[in-house]
Amino acid sequence: MDGDYNRDGGVDAADLIEWQLAAGNSGTSGSSAASFTADGDQDGDVDGGDLLVWQQNLGAQYNAPVAAVPEPIAAILMIFAGLPLCPVMRRSPSAGR
């Protein structure tokens, strides 16, 4: 996500701190690759353009897709709800004689 310089899923003040720590680094300054996580505009340096990327995305959050998970009791309730639909087999009174 653009502007999420600490990769925590949201663009917030913590990302601004990451930008401040990395500001001024460029591909020729001998800086570690970790300092380029704040290179939001992907131009090879950490500068005001990257601050602008952070500002434009401030407040954005990554929302992971959520899948519905049925409760275990739902299966049991469905079984009991279906029981009246099943034919009841009874022995005829003459079969036992």
Is residue 26 in some structural domain? Answer: yes
Q: Please give the model's pTM, rounded to 2 decimal places.
A: 0.58
* Within a domain: 19: yes
- Given a cut of 80, is residue 10 above it in pLDDT? yes
* pLDDT category of residue 71 using cuts at 50, 70 and 90: confident
Query: How many helices (H) and strands (E) in the chain?
Result: 3, 0
In a domain, 20, yes or no: yes
With respect to residue 93, please indicate whether it lies within any of the assigned structural domains.
no
- Tell me the pLDDT band of 68, cut-offs 50, 70 and 90: confident
The domain of 23 spans 13-57
Alpha carbon separation from 75 to 45, 81, 85 (Å, rounded): 57, 10, 16
Residue 77 within any structural domain of the chain: no
- pLDDT at residue number 39: 92
The number of domains in the chain is: 1
pLDDT at site 74: 77
pLDDT in tens, 26-60: 765 455 555 678 999 999 899 999 999 999 999 98
DSSP E strands in 14-74: the ranges are none
pLDDT of residue 79: 81
Q: Which residue has the higher pLDDT, 48 or 82?
A: 48
